[in-house]
A and B are shown apart, each in its own frame.
Chain A
């Protein structure tokens, strides 16, 4: 199994509070991704990183920010959580970011509930 951990695994928070989710990898892969999974939508890309301090937006980036200060860690921050951000969040890693070497491996997920 790819060495990807996410923390916390479960979190309940209140509307308006800041929340930070952490993804940690031991594979030294260059590319890291944050997805959210919601019923009826499959998984959708929020943000991704293509190197230390290099990040870019995905499909559903509004209300989220990310940071990557080390190769192994990729943080997702909800500056002011809203109920629409209740979801399961997955981190993924990839060696190269482009086919044919872009097989993505996923972490265990974080279940976030915003009340």
Chain B
């Protein structure tokens, strides 16, 4: 089956720093989502991005489907950005497309 790898696995930043998180996938996909799981466990949708670039405030994402990777950029990080960031690729599965999740990047932002 398709493999989804995220790097780095852990990232420690000081408030105000910028970071780039990477998601590689081993086969073609129908779409890709980025999530933030906050310290309380809630999964928050960040981007639904099959290709190209999208921006939302301090966050932006770029997916290059032909090269099978996606990048999540966080600028001017804040302590509230702490948590685990997951990418999930969307692949066909019988009567739906299912999500295959990477194992995440754990981000800690210190004041």
* A interface residue numbers (CB < 8 A to B): 31, 33, 40-45, 48, 50, 54, 56, 58-59, 88, 90, 94, 97-100, 102-106, 108-109
Contact = CB atoms under 8 A, between A and B. Distances in A.
A42 B101 contact: yes
A88 B86 contact: no
B41 A88 contact: yes
B interface majority secondary structure: strand
Interface stretch (B11-19, B54-62, B74-82, B88-96): B88-96
Interface of B: 4, 30-31, 33, 35, 41-43, 45, 48, 50, 86, 88, 90, 93-99, 101-104
B97 A48 contact: no
Given A31-B96, A41-B103, A43-B101, A98 B86 contact: no
Contacts of B101: 42-44
B102 A42 contact: yes
A96 B35 CA distance: 19
Given A88-B41, A108-B42, A109-B41, A103 B48 contact: yes
